[in-house]
Amino acid sequence: MALYKKLTFFFLAFFFFFSCLPFSLSSFNPKCEPAPPIIPVAVYPTDVDLIQFALNLEYMETDWFLFGANGRGLDSVAPELAMGGPPPIGARKAKLDPVTQRIIAEFGYQEVGHLRAIKSTVGGFPRPLIDLSSHNFAKIFDDAVGFHLNPPFDPYLNSINYLLASYVIPYVGLVGYVGTNPNINGFLSKRLLAGLLGVEAGQDAVIRSMLYEKAFEKVKPYNYTVAEFTVKISELRNKLAMCGMKDEGIIVPLELGAERRTTSNVLSADADSLSYSRTQAEILRVVYGTGDEHKPGGFLPNGGNGTIAKSFLKFPHHQ
């Protein structure tokens, strides 16, 4: 009987506790705001130009992804964000399979958000003239392999070509954000940059993963596999940037793989598996395709906009 009474008491107490639990949880008011910043300055004056510089790449990615997926760019989604800048050259809808099309469309809409977030935090500048033509990409791929491909590489021809062309773009923004990070001071600026970096890294990882699935397939009609093309493009970017190896294809020698234990390289990273970083000058050398931050061309035929990009154009480099 004593045992019975003890068990009865236990079950009644157990029932009472859990019957009260929803009320307890509903009455609990959790704190969701982050801790106050150590230095309560939202945006330092020196943050502005550094973050605005990224708009050159964000504009490029926005129209590249939106046109590729939908046949229409930023001007069809949020024309006010272009701030009167000219439409891109040669951008058009790519022949994508349904899955790739949905992924690329998502990326495009994400880039629209990036433009809005940057401008609402540090202001912005008009979209620069951007060359997304087949001719421009054909030249990049010719430069990568060292000769004229026949027929010329067409990024809009099919999904694999489009993904290879996409391999050219987001990674440059990713390493640019990593390079900018140490020089940002405001707590709101840091939050913005971390958010941008997270999504850019995700986009690059998805593109590289999709290419990795077809790594050893030949890209018709060329005598190169998907992996070989990524290696060639990475080598070209390293050559243009002129600051050592900060770029790797999706297949690497064992000594360059993570912990020297794998040749797969879905995420490009250094010996400690940390993302590489590039300066603004390095980025301009790559996107201009000239190897010179003072000499525009490539994706930005008239040069980039903003204080930093224009400062290089204002004082041309003399060999």
120-171 confidence digits (pLDDT tens): 999 999 999 999 999 999 999 999 999 999 999 999 999 999 999 999 988 9
The C-alpha atoms of residue 312 and residue 318 are separated, in whole angstroms, by 12
Taking only the tens place, the pLDDT of each residue in 254-310 is 999 999 999 999 999 999 999 999 999 999 999 999 999 999 999 999 999 999 999
Q: Which residue has the tokens 């000769």?
A: 147
Transcribe 207-251 into DSSP letters: HHHHHHTTTTSB-TTSS-BHHHHHHHHHHHHHHHHTSS-----SB
Contact residues for 58 (Cβ-Cβ < 8 A; gap 6+): 111, 114, 115, 118, 173
pLDDT of residue 317 exceeding 90:
no
Average pLDDT estimate for 84-94? 98
Give the torsion sign (CA, 191, 194, 197, 201): negative
CB 252 within 8 A of CB 238: no
Query: What is the per-residue pLDDT for 315?
Result: 79
Domain ranges of the chain: 38-314
Three-class secondary structure assignment of 5-25: HHHHHHHHHHHHHHHHHHHHH
Q: 3-class SS at 131?
A: strand
Please give the Cα distance from 193 to 187 (Å, whole number). 10
In percent, how much of the chain has pLDDT > 90? Answer: 85
* DSSP three-state, residue 264: strand
pTM of structure: 0.90
Opening angle at CA 159, ends 158 and 163, nearest 5: 120
Residue 297 carries which DSSP code?
B
